Structure 1
């Protein structure tokens, strides 16, 4: 399955009420590739088992209704803001989880994703960015859980012509969190190489 088809399927899930699970399905659209000393990682691999199980088993109101999805996610966050003392369900906790898998700390990782630019150099190359599992995350759509966002920093920068382009990212991962006004990333990466997902 191509990334484009995978992305189309993921976007369709938003309207059907699956926005809160969409990033978990991306791995089925991506091939598992081992390159040199880099360990190939897919997005669900970054989620601790407890959180992953919670996300794969959302409340019935998320999957059973005609609206569901985005509307329910927003409603849930509004309810929490109004009643911060309310006890969160395992699913709600997983939606904002910053829990990481320490096994990826200081590991050379290769993974796919979409770039959300944060900083540019004088040549307008992106030097700092969030790597996210689906197009629109942190921009047109609410951000995924922090453990589904990777903060990337690349000294020489990368040319970004379209936010819709998918990339392979290689670098050294850490479990250091980075937070800004856009989102919180539970993982960070010193990026060695960025290449298009498609090499035409």
Structure 2
């Protein structure tokens, strides 16, 4: 929770470049009831098989059993459907083109969501479709993604997401943004 709030603060301080949309905060994708439940949530135990670097279980970003219900929430905010947004986050690559550019990826609100920490709830995961692709050298590099957000349930072997975004623009967060 503390890491999530810190990331919101870091990304939330970004100033828009000329002509860019104002930033959409990740909490805007979560109904108020989920926001309250998340704030009241106890610390999460990070002792998992993945914490020692062993990745044998299928799922990656799928939620493990026993977490508070808000960590599984796919409740969405209807007013966000078909909205043009700019949101900051971290990529989890899914598909690449022939040149190695990521064309399909999950955007998550904090770095390391695909390693050994519990992943964000589905309403805090956005599937990004970006046909022109982006060369990703490091999944810990924060991105700004701009495009039309859709309330769309997405499920694959890696994760479940409650939103998808057809990206018009993807760019790396620059030091000048902070």
TM-score range, shorter chain: 0.7 to 0.9
After TM superposition, list the pairs within 5 Å mapping 1:23-172 onto structure 2.
Answer: 23-30=4-11, 31-34=13-16, 36=19, 38-58=21-41, 62-63=42-43, 69-71=45-47, 77-78=64-65, 80=66, 92-172=68-148
Give, in whole Å, the separation in 2 of the partners of 1:140 and 1:133. 15
**Paired residues, number:** 161
Highest relative contact order (Cα 8 Å, sep 6+), 1 or 2? 2
Counterpart of 1:9? none
**TM-superposition CA deviations, 1:116-150 (whole Å, max 9, x none):** 00001111100000000111112343311001100
Q: Which has the larger radius of gyration?
A: 1
Counterparts of 2:22 and 2:4 in 1: how far apart (Å)?
20
CA distance in 2 between partners of 1:162 and 1:37 (Å)? 24
In structure 2, distance between residues paired with 1:100 and 1:138: 22
Indicate if the aligned counterparts of 1:110 and 1:171 stay in contact, CA closer than 8 A. yes
Q: Which structure shows the bigger proportion of residues in helix conformation?
A: 1
Q: CA deviation at 1:24?
A: 3.8
Over aligned residues, Cα RMSD in angstroms? Answer: 2.5
Runs of 5+ consecutive residues of structure 1 not aligned to the other structure: 1-17, 81-90
Structure 2 residues without counterparts, runs of 5 or longer: 49-62
Moved over 6 A (4+): none
Task: Normalising by structure 2, report the TM-score.
Answer: 0.80
Provide TM-score, normalisation by structure 1. 0.72
Are 1:181 and 2:157 an aligned pair? yes
